[in-house]
Structure 1
Amino acid sequence: MHRARLTSPSRRGILAAGGALGLGAALAACGADSKDSGSKDGGAGTGAGKGARSGPWSFKDDRGKTAKADKVPANIAAFTSVAAALWDYGIECKGVFGPTRTKDGKADVQAGDIDVDKVTILGNAWGQFNIEKYAGLAPDLLVTTVYDTAGTLWSVPEDSKDKILGLAPSVGISVYDRQMTRPLERLLALAESLGADVKAAKVVKAKQRFEAAAARLRKAAKANPGIRVLVGSASQDIFYVSGTNLSADLEYFKSLGVNFVEPSEAAKKASGGWFENLSWENIDKYPADVIMMDNRTATIQPADLDKDKATWRKLPAVRAGQVVPRVTEPIYSYAKCAPVLEDLAEAIEKARKVG
């Protein structure tokens, strides 16, 4: 999402960072913690879930707003990674907006297990949203994430949000300045309100795997306290080093003991606290033993950096082969987050000091 100037550190420059590394303006160029869970009143009726009940439905979201309907929503549109999380719980969205297909037609990393041939793609990049297609779904719910305290709905275009939000109720799940366990809980609660069987063996096992992975990561971090992990993202002209204080995944990993490289507050100020911009000539500013690189398709991936960026190739962690993906916009289901923790734990377990 990244090959352009950064604008103001509010909506475009920070929000499009995906909660980590700004590049929101590039996305355009590239084409308060609520403790309320979903209402138990509603079932799925003719909705998306199989274990649904009929009757009115409501859900209080992380903006403090309550979405209501006469019956459980059936025609749901969601940001791609949110739709992927709901899919893991058996709730199939009719429409998605956000990175869904790659240029070769395959499912984007943010699409998870969604059958991308079964959904209506309302926009295939951040900020793209076809209102006519959305209206054609006869939508009764829109779901996306929130990356600020203002309740801004992720990837819902500012200039057309009133039209979009006038067509159906909306739910915003905050992934801002909290640990990833919270959005995991909230999306599970939303799925349950939509008719998902949250006590199904598949769901229970996935949560158990997540908890075991968290314990493994905590153990790995404790056993290897000197291993410094840098979180980066690459555009053609800038290398972004992420801070850990606002992103739900990094805040959680840090709580488990992972030793992250942290840019200074002064350096992050221009981005609202998210990240620091480095030129490619200065990417060795922070010594690191492991580098986690933004896996989103709008960013430059390590294989291409190996070919094109000499300063990248010289980094000790790169020379040591200690570069791993960072799932910058996680799919907040337990099934998808467990492997994220496992992979980081394995990277720290195997890492040697090189920085």
Structure 2
Amino acid sequence: MSAVPRRTLAVLGIAALLGVSACAETSPEPATGAAEQAWTWTDDRGKKISLPKRPERVVAQSGAAAALWDFGVRPVGVFGPHKLKGGGRDPEVGEVDITAVESIGNVWGEFNVEKYASLQPDLLVAGMYQKNTLWYVPDESLDAVDQIAPTVGVQLSGKPLTAVIEQYGKLAAALGADPGAPAVAEARRRFDAASAALKDLAARKPDLKVMVVTATPDALYVAYKPDHPDIAYWADLGLNIVSPERPTEGEGGFWEVLSWENADKYDADVILVDARAQSMKIGEMAEKPTWAKLPAVKAGQLYPWHAAERYSHLGYAKVIEELVSALEKARDDVVA
């Protein structure tokens, strides 16, 4: 899900992304009421936060900030990928106005604790791929971060896509956003319509085989469907996903790791390729002989996979709409 494979990128000094976990129940109390009222929240670590009033100054990891923004929350600071080298907005931060928020760090391992403290935050929010591990909060900064303000973790793996989206919606409502706002309602309608369109396409093209991959110079990573909420959701809608029987041991789930010599283990009509900025590009992969020989590659049926999309109805409505548009024109007879 959710860079190139998460653990691999940690080794490469980019990011760690792998992890599995069960999720804990949450209970926003209260979801409505004045900001002066006491506020409690139990996050996906089972950690209960109790504050004398509703948090107003929220700092969030870029993916969490993007999801909360779509639900109506406006963080004061972000950390994690949000600004590209040219100064533009990184897709991972969604619709967040990066000129209106303070940057605490933009890459893996970068978290300016002093600047974080200067924002006088009431709350920090981050997703979690690994159990109880806040995404993009460096281990060496955890103690200092915990002393400045409470933290909320939202589990991103081991849960259905819609459950993760709904969790962010509940948190946003608890933080004072209006769950019935026109933009929020329209995003939900758009998500439902896109999902229905994908379900219809899958029914019309049952033989269309779709594989999802990411890569490093040393290996091709084939997505293990059950560990990716988005891919599992597409499969639930009927899309024929090519998935390994099990992930590679020692990788923490998410992927079967193939050497480039064995990159032709699976055949697919369509390949969705990790579109993140730090991932291996299709042009680079084309230099690998086994990749160039894959049926989907020869057929030119390669489309982006937005592996770090924010968990909101708006975010995934756009993803699914793009996926439907690509698959509508894809041939389903590339492989037998």
Residue 39 of structure 1, aligned match among 15, 21, 29: 29
Letter in 2 for 1:330: E
Q: TM-score, normalised by structure 1?
A: 0.86
Q: Displacement of 1:218 after TM fit?
A: 1.4
Letter in 1 for 2:164: P
Q: Does 1:100 align with 2:82?
A: yes
Please tell me whether the aligned partners of residues 222 and 244 of structure 2 are also in contact (alpha carbons under 8 angstroms): yes
Please tell me whether the aligned partners of residues 20 and 243 of structure 1 are also in contact (alpha carbons under 8 angstroms): no
Q: Displacement of 1:79 after TM fit?
A: 0.9
Q: Which residue of 2 aligns with 1:175?
A: 156
Q: Does 1:256 align with 2:240?
A: no
Structure 1 residues 42, 131: closer, same or farther in 2, change over 3 A? Answer: farther
Please tell me whether the aligned partners of residues 3 and 9 of structure 2 are also in contact (alpha carbons under 8 angstroms): no
How big is each residue's C-alpha offset from its partner over 1:226-263, in whole Å with a ceiling of 9 and x where there is no partner?
11111111222221111011121122112111211112
How big is each residue's C-alpha offset from its partner over 1:127-147, in whole Å with a ceiling of 9 and x where there is no partner?
321111111111110101122
Number of equivalent positions: 327
Q: TM-score, normalised by structure 2?
A: 0.90
Letter in 2 for 1:29: L
How big is each residue's C-alpha offset from its partner over 1:303-342, in whole Å with a ceiling of 9 and x where there is no partner?
4434x44443332212222111111122111111111122
Q: Displacement of 1:82 after TM fit?
A: 0.9
TM alignment of 1:74-89, pairs within 5 A: 74-89=56-71
Gaps of 5+ in 1: 1-17, 44-51
Letter in 1 for 2:334: V
Letter in 2 for 1:79: Q
Distance 1:201 1:65 in 2: 32
Distance 2:118 2:46 in 1: 28
Distance 1:28 1:83 in 2: 26
* SS state at 1:232 partner: strand
Q: Displacement of 1:272 after TM fit?
A: 2.6
Cα RMSD over matched residues?
A: 2.0
Q: Which residue of 2 aligns with 1:191?
A: 172
Distance 2:11 2:80 in 1: 12
How big is each residue's C-alpha offset from its partner over 1:81-140, in whole Å with a ceiling of 9 and x where there is no partner?
110111122211111111111111111110111121222221212332111111111111
Q: Displacement of 1:211 after TM fit?
A: 0.9
TM alignment of 1:1-355, pairs within 5 A: 18-19=1-2, 22-27=5-10, 29-31=12-14, 32-40=22-30, 43=33, 53-148=35-130, 150-265=131-246, 268-306=248-286, 308-352=287-331, 353-355=333-335
Distance 1:223 1:39 in 2: 45
Letter in 2 for 1:63: R
How big is each residue's C-alpha offset from its partner over 1:18-74, in whole Å with a ceiling of 9 and x where there is no partner?
43963334246345334434222565xxxxxxxx64322222212222222222212
* SS state at 1:271 partner: coil
